A and B are shown apart, each in its own frame.
Chain A
Amino acid sequence: MKNHPELAEQFNTDEARVNWHDETLWWVRTKRDRMSHALPEWEQLRESASQIKNNVLSNLSDYLIQFESNAKANGIIVHWAADANEHNAIVLSLLRQQGATQMVKSKSMLTEECHLNEYLEQNNIDVVDSDLGERVVQLAKEPPSHIVLPCIHKKKEEIGELFHEHLGTPKGNADPQFLTHAARLHLREKFLTRKVALTGVNFAIADTGEFVVCTNEGNADMGAHLADVHIASMGIEKIIPQRKHLGVFLRILARSATGQPVTTYSSHFKKPREGKAIHIILVDNGRSIHLGRPDFRNALKCIRCGACMNTCPVYRRSGGHSYHTAIAGPIGSILAPNLDMKKYADLPFASTLCGSCSNVCPVKIDIHDQLFKWRQVIVKEGYATSGKKVGMKVMNSVLSHPSLYRTSGKIGRWIMNHFPSVVNNKLNPWFRQREMPEPPKESFREWYQKNKKR
C-alpha cells in the first residue's frame, strides 16, 4: 500500500489542479474566519465547548448509561457494537428483519470508518448515499476525501461526466445548478421507495435521550421521515450531557465547518413516529482504548467540523485521499494511529506542525501537539521509515539542544514581529496562506527564567 508522501506526490502531478484544490479550501477557511471574527465571544464559546467535552470524556460511561435509559423510555431501540464488524452485522440484521434489500443513507463518517457500504454490498444490499457529495464519490467508486465536503477534489466536469454515465444527464453539461437538480430527482425516487434509512449522529443528549443530526441538504430528514425504520449510527464520544449544551455546539459547528451561522437543518429525534421505529447503534470501535491514552484522548472531543483540514497546508496540497483513511487531514492523522499504529505510521508526519489546526479547532484539541507526540511514539515503537527518521533527526537536533532552541525561537519571534512578510510569503510553501499565530511577547522559557528569580 502506498503511504502519504507517495499518494501526495501522485496528487501533485497536476499542479494547476493542486492550486485549485488549495485555493478552494482556503476560501472555505476564510468564510470560517469571517464568522468567527464576527462573534466577540468566539474564544469563550470554544472554551466552553472544550470544557463540556472534557467533562463528557471524564464521565462517558455514566452518560452512555443515562442516554440509553432515556432513549429507551422515549421508545428508541438501543444497540451496542464493540467494533465495526458488530456494527455492520446489526445494520444487516435490521435490514433482514424488514425484508429490505435496499437502504438510503445520509452522511455518516462512522459508517465510512466501518466500511459499511462494502459489507452491505457483499450481502446483496443496495445502498444509496444521499448527500450530494457522497453520491458523487459513490458513483465514482471512491471514498469521500473530506469529512464535510466529500467530493471537494472533483471538478464539475468530472461530476458532469459521472452523471451523464449514471443518471443520463446530457454529455458535457457541467452546470452545478443543473447537476444538483438532476441529483435531486434521482435521489427523491430513492427517498420515496426505501423502507430503511440510516443517518449519522452529531450529538446525543444524555439527559433527554434524543439525538441531533445536522445537514444542509435535508437528506437525513428526507430519508428518516419517509422510511419505516430509521437507523442512527453513533460513535460513543458523540454524547453531550444536557440539551442546553447544544446552544454552545450549534453556535460553533457550522461556523467552523463552512462559515454558515448554522446548518440549514438541526433535527432533534426524540421519539419514533407512531408505528415506526428508531434504532440507535452505539459504536466503540477502539474509542474506549483511545480514552486510556492520556496524551491522545482529547482527539475524542472532535465534532467533525473539518476546519483543521481546510486550514492545513499539507491537506490542501496533498488531498484527502493521500491519507488512506476514512477521516483525512490533521484530525484523521491523530485518530488513525489509535486503530492501527503500523498501518498509519506515516500520517503524523504529514504535517508541518505549524499549529494552524489547533488554532481553528472549535473544541480546542491540541492537534499539532498530538501529531508531534505520535511521531515520538511511532519512532520509539520502530514504525517510522528511514526517510522520516531523517526528518525527526533534524527536529531532534533542534529540540534536544537547548541553546539552539532558544536562539531559533527568539529569531523566529523577532522575524514574525518585524518582517511578517518574510515568513508569510509565497516562496515558503509551508507558510503560504497559513494563519500566523500571534507571536508571544516572550517565550515560556523567558517567562519562567524571569519569574523564577523573583
Chain B
Amino acid sequence: MSSREKTLEALKKNQPDQVELPAITSYEQSEKDNVLQFKNTLLFIGGQAIEVNGYGDMITYIKEHFGEAKRILSTIEALHPVAEIKAHYPDPHSLEDVGLTIVNAQFGVAENGAVWITDDLLPARALPFITEFLAVVLEKKTIVPTMQEAYDRIGISDYGFGVFIAGPSKTSDIEQSLVLGAHGPKGMTIFLI
C-alpha cells in the first residue's frame, strides 16, 4: 500500500464524526475611519504612509528621498522620469542591486496595515522582497477594515502568487530587539491616493 493510501485509510478510520463548519461573521470595528486606522497601524509596524495628489507628488518624493538609490524599478508607466519601467524580469537574480521598487497594490487592510499584491502586479515575484526599499501605491478607497473583509474581496480570484505585506521586513530574534530589514526591505512607504 502506498503512503498516500496508508495515511488516508488511517485517517478515515480515526477521524471523529462529522463536525459542521461554523458560519463566519464579520465584526463591526470601533474605529470607523479605515484610512486613519491604516496609517496609524502602518506607523506602529515600522512603515509610513504619505498622502499624495498624483504621480507628480510621488516623483518629487522619490527624488528627494531616494535620489541616491542605485536602481529604481516600477511597473507604473507614469513614474518613468525616476524609474526603470518593465513588465517582466525573467531572471530574479538580476534584481539584487535594486534600491527602490514602486508597485501597485490591490487593496489595503486597516487593522494590520497590510496591502494585498498578486503576481500580475509584479514584474518578478522576488522583487518586493529583494528590493532594499519598497513603495506601494494604494487607493484610499480600497482599504477594508479587517482580514475578513479582505478575503471577501479576494473571493475566489485566481493568481499564481499573492502576498499580504505589512511593513518592512523585520526580526526580533536577537534578544527581542526589533531590527528592520532582516532579509527584505529596510523600509516601506505607502503612497495613498
List which B146-193 residues lie within 8 A (CB) of chain A.
146-152, 154, 156, 158-177, 179, 181-185
Q: Interface with A: B5-13, B54-62, B78-86, which one?
A: B5-13
A223's nearest neighbour on chain B, judged by CB, is B183
A225 within 8 A of B: yes
List which A250-286 residues lie within 8 A (CB) of chain B.
250-251, 258, 260-273, 282, 284
Q: Could you tell me the distance in whole angstroms from the C-beta of A36 to the nearest C-beta in chain B?
A: 13
Q: Could you tell me the distance in whole angstroms from the C-beta of A300 to the nearest C-beta in chain B?
A: 10
Q: Could you tell me the distance in whole angstroms from the C-beta of B172 to the nearest C-beta in chain A?
A: 7
How distant is the Cα of A311 from the Cα of B45 in the complex, in angstroms? Answer: 23
Q: Point out the residues of chain A lying under 8 angstroms from B148, CB to CB.
A: 244, 247-248, 251
Map CB proximity to B onto A46-82 as digits: 1 under 8 Å, 0 otherwise.
0110011011011111001100000000000000111
The 8 Å CB contact of B19, one of A58, A247, A294, is: A58
Q: Is the beta-carbon distance between B27 and A41 smaller than 8 angstroms? A: yes
Q: Could you tell me the distance in whole angstroms from the C-beta of B106 to the nearest C-beta in chain A?
A: 13
Q: Could you tell me the distance in whole angstroms from the C-beta of B154 to the nearest C-beta in chain A?
A: 7
Q: Point out the residues of chain A lying under 8 angstroms from B185, CB to CB.
A: 218
A440 within 8 A of B: no
Q: Point out the residues of chain B lying under 8 angstroms from A225, CB to CB.
A: 92, 124-126, 129-130
Q: Could you tell me the distance in whole angstroms from the C-beta of A273 to the nearest C-beta in chain B?
A: 6
Q: Could you tell me the distance in whole angstroms from the C-beta of A56 to the nearest C-beta in chain B?
A: 9
How distant is the Cα of A60 from the Cα of B165 in the complex, in angstroms? Answer: 30
Q: Point out the residues of chain B lying under 8 angstroms from A91, CB to CB.
A: none
User: Total interface residues on A, using CB and 8 Å?
Assistant: 89
List which A201-230 residues lie within 8 A (CB) of chain B.
208, 216-219, 221-222, 225-226
The 8 Å CB contact of B176, one of A28, A61, A244, A248, is: A28
A8 within 8 A of B: no
A383 within 8 A of B: no
Q: Could you tell me the distance in whole angstroms from the C-beta of A281 to the nearest C-beta in chain B?
A: 10
Map CB proximity to A onto B51-79 as digits: 1 under 8 Å, 0 otherwise.
00000000000000000000000000000
For B15, B111, B183, the residue with the greatest tally of chain A CB atoms inside 10 Å of its CB is B183
User: Total interface residues on B, using CB and 8 Å?
Assistant: 74
Q: Is the beta-carbon distance between B163 and A267 smaller than 8 angstroms? A: yes
Q: Is the beta-carbon distance between A292 and B147 smaller than 8 angstroms? A: no
Q: Point out the residues of chain A lying under 8 angstroms from B6, CB to CB.
A: 82, 284
A44's nearest neighbour on chain B, judged by CB, is B27
Q: Is the beta-carbon distance between A24 and B173 smaller than 8 angstroms? A: no
A-B contacts, CB under 8 A, total: 245
A335 within 8 A of B: no
Evaluate whether A221 and B129 lie within 8 angstroms (CB atoms) in the complex, with A216-B169, A264-B166, A273-B160 already known: yes
Evaluate whether A236 and B7 lie within 8 angstroms (CB atoms) in the complex, with A262-B147, A266-B164 already known: yes
Q: Is the beta-carbon distance between B182 and A217 smaller than 8 angstroms? A: yes
For B6, B7, B124, B130, the residue with the greatest tally of chain A CB atoms inside 10 Å of its CB is B7
Q: Is the beta-carbon distance between B173 and A151 smaller than 8 angstroms? A: yes
How distant is the Cα of A132 from the Cα of B151 in the complex, in angstroms? Answer: 31
A306 within 8 A of B: no
A216's nearest neighbour on chain B, judged by CB, is B170
Q: Is the beta-carbon distance between A159 and B7 smaller than 8 angstroms? A: no
The 8 Å CB contact of A270, one of B149, B161, B171, is: B161
Tell me the dominant secondary structure on chain A's binding face: helix
Evaluate whether A289 and B184 lie within 8 angstroms (CB atoms) in the complex, with A51-B22, A245-B24, A264-B170 already known: no
Q: Is the beta-carbon distance between B159 and A222 smaller than 8 angstroms? A: no
Map CB proximity to B onto A135-150 as digits: 1 under 8 Å, 0 otherwise.
0100000000000011
Q: Could you tell me the distance in whole angstroms from the C-beta of A97 to the nearest C-beta in chain B?
A: 19
A329 within 8 A of B: no
How distant is the Cα of A58 from the Cα of B15 in the complex, in angstroms? Answer: 5
Q: Could you tell me the distance in whole angstroms from the C-beta of B20 to the nearest C-beta in chain A?
A: 7
Map CB proximity to A onto B80-117 as digits: 1 under 8 Å, 0 otherwise.
00000000000011001000000000000101111000
Q: Point out the residues of chain B lying under 8 angstroms from A273, CB to CB.
A: 125, 160-161
Q: Is the beta-carbon distance between A24 and B18 smaller than 8 angstroms? A: no
How distant is the Cα of A59 from the Cα of B159 in the complex, in angstroms? Answer: 27
Q: Point out the residues of chain A lying under 8 angstroms from B32, CB to CB.
A: none
Q: Is the beta-carbon distance between A217 and B27 smaller than 8 angstroms? A: no
Q: Could you tell me the distance in whole angstroms from the C-beta of A114 to the nearest C-beta in chain B?
A: 14
How distant is the Cα of A314 from the Cα of B100 in the complex, in angstroms? Answer: 46
Q: Could you tell me the distance in whole angstroms from the C-beta of A442 to the nearest C-beta in chain B?
A: 29
Q: Interface with B: A185-193, A362-370, A398-406, A407-415, which one?
A: A185-193
Closest 3 CB pairs of A and B: A218-B184, A292-B14, A288-B10
A258-B172, A266-B163, A270-B158 known; 14 other A-B pairs, CB under 8 Å?
A40-B30, A41-B27, A51-B21, A58-B17, A86-B3, A180-B173, A217-B183, A218-B185, A248-B148, A263-B166, A268-B163, A269-B161, A272-B160, A288-B7
| Residues of chain A at the chain B interface (Cβ within 8 Å) | 24, 27-28, 40-41, 44, 47-48, 51-52, 54-55, 57-61, 64-65, 80-82, 86, 130-133, 136, 149-152, 154-156, 159, 176-177, 179-181, 183-184, 187-188, 191-192, 208, 216-219, 221-222, 225-226, 236, 241, 243-248, 250-251, 258, 260-273, 282, 284, 288-289, 291-292, 294, 297
| 23 CB-based A-B contacts, threshold 8 Å | A59-B15, A59-B18, A149-B176, A176-B179, A177-B179, A184-B181, A184-B182, A217-B169, A219-B182, A221-B129, A226-B126, A236-B7, A241-B21, A244-B24, A247-B24, A261-B45, A264-B170, A267-B162, A267-B163, A288-B11, A291-B14, A291-B16, A292-B10
